[in-house]
Amino acid sequence: MLTANKTTVEAYMEGFRRGDHEQILACLTDDVEWEIPGFFQAQGKAAFAGHIQDEGFTGKPEITVHRMTEENDVVIAEGAVRTQKTDGAAVNLVFCDVFEMRGEKIRKLVSYLVMV
């Protein structure tokens, strides 16, 4: 069963799949924080928007969510991503995204990524 928070996370993921920056940003609070430990930390929608498609990558990612769990306004999504770099190299990752929600929007996201 999809709760309101899980529906927001699914809309966020679908925004990435379609390359729809506006849909992604509509899922976020204005003071959103996004961290990929060891790589970057962004605060606010403008900074977040700058990382939706980082330099060196092209096309729309293939995102598969294997499991989504929610408790106390925290949604955890586990899955896999396949994307392509501008040099033609394929990138395959598995992820565990931890979404802290507020008012059915994403307030904070910590993305744990592993290359496979």
The H or E element that residue 75 is part of is: strand 74-85
Count of C-beta atoms within a 10 Å radius of residue 16? 19
pLDDT in tens, 4-40: 999 999 999 999 999 999 999 999 999 999 999 999 9
Sign of CA dihedral 37, 57, 61, 26: positive
> CATH code for 4-115?
3.10.450.50
Please tell me what DSSP assigns to residue 65: E
Checking phi first, is residue 54 left (phi over 0); if not, alpha (psi -120 to 50) or beta?
A: beta
What pLDDT digit, counting tens, does each position of 36-90 carry?
Answer: 999 999 999 999 999 888 888 888 999 999 999 999 999 999 999 999 999 999 9
Name the pTM for this structure: 0.94
